[in-house]
Amino acid sequence: MSVEIAVNNSEDALYYEPQNNEVELFSHAYKHQLPVLIKGPTGCGKTRFIAAMAEKLNRPLYTVSCHDDLTAADLVGRHLIGPEGTYWQDGPLTRAVREGGICYLDEVVEARKDTTVVLHPLADDRRVLPIERTGEYLEAAPGFMLVVSYNPGYQSLIKGMKPSTRQRFVAMKFDYPTPEVETRIVMKESGADKSLAEQLVRLGGALRNLKDHDLEEAASTRLLIYAAKLVVGGIDVRQACYAAMAEPLSDDDATVAALKNVIDACVITA
């Protein structure tokens, strides 16, 4: 089973538009070796924020996209068989612990609870990772930071973070940006002009007002950027919004039709 690992070595500054005091809070958490939990809806900028902070702090970043089949071995490591026999291969969590990097577990509530227990000794003042299969008792290198995120809207009795795990973290709550900030983000990420970006942000706000009407998720900033990129690439505004901001939000024909009606009412074509 493969685990997504992203190591940030970019020399160019990664664009991130602060919303509140999250940059300052995260920096202080890093300085004082505190683990961080980020809560927020899909596509609101959680992953971009972590990547930007890793770059700002000049730390390698290991990102793991959590899922139902994620095991402790996927995080910690396992023995493999090679041409010269059996050898040990570190998982992304172990590599971050050894190197003093940032390990980011995206949508951590998707992982099995018996898997996330491995995080406990790293998320308190011990900052250690016991590796039973090798007999190692790793102390986290200076600079190591554990960050997890999840979407509170997806939580349930079956999929939720245990209180004993959640209370080991400093928590930060994210939401969609204000219209002014979101407009700047859409312009920067897509190359759209201000008029188009403002129109898409207004549309996004209108669609978010429908979130409680048979929609599991609201229109994310990511989808606004997708729509803007399509338009900049030459697609008609209305068709771009259908493809990027209506169809991805639902498989129900009636719901998609309602979303398209909102788009028709809000979009002004050139």
Tens-place pLDDT, residues 205-239: 999 887 666 677 889 999 999 999 999 999 999 99
Query: Cβ(192)–Cβ(232) under 8 Å?
Result: yes
pLDDT at residue 12 greater than cutoff 70: no
Other Cβ atoms less than 10 A from the Cβ of 170: the count is 15
CA torsion sign for 124, 126, 132, 138 is positive
Output the pLDDT for position 218: 85
- HEC profile of the chain: CCCCCCCCCCCCCCCCCCCCCHHHHHHHHHHCCCCEEEECCCCCCHHHHHHHHHHHHCCCEEEEECCCCCCHHHHHEEEEEECCEEEEEECHHHHHHHHCCEEEEECHHHCCHHHHHHHHHHCCCCCEEEECCCCEEEECCCCCEEEEEECHHHCCCCCCCCHHHHCCCEEEECCCCCHHHHHHHHHHHHCCCHHHHHHHHHHHHHHHCCCCCCCCCCCCHHHHHHHHHHHHCCCCHHHHHHHHHHHHHCCCHHHHHHHHHHHHHHCCCC
C-alpha angle 14/201/105, rounded to 5°? 45
pLDDT at residue 181 greater than cutoff 90: yes
Query: Cβ(147)–Cβ(104) under 8 Å?
Result: yes
Domain ranges of the chain: 22-173, 179-266
Q: What percent of the chain has pLDDT over 70?
A: 91
Residue keyed to tokens 């709550």: 173
> What mean pLDDT comes out for the span 228-257?
94
- Residues comprising the chain, all counted: 270
Output the pLDDT for position 211: 64
Output the pLDDT for position 270: 52
Report, at the CATH architecture level, how domain 22-173 is classified. 3-Layer(aba) Sandwich (3.40)
Lowest mean pLDDT among 83-97, 147-161, 220-234, 254-268: 147-161
Question: Which tens digits make up the pLDDT trace of 46-102?
Answer: 999 999 999 999 999 999 999 988 999 999 999 999 888 899 999 999 999 999 999
pLDDT at residue 9 greater than cutoff 90: no
Query: Cβ(58)–Cβ(41) under 8 Å?
Result: no
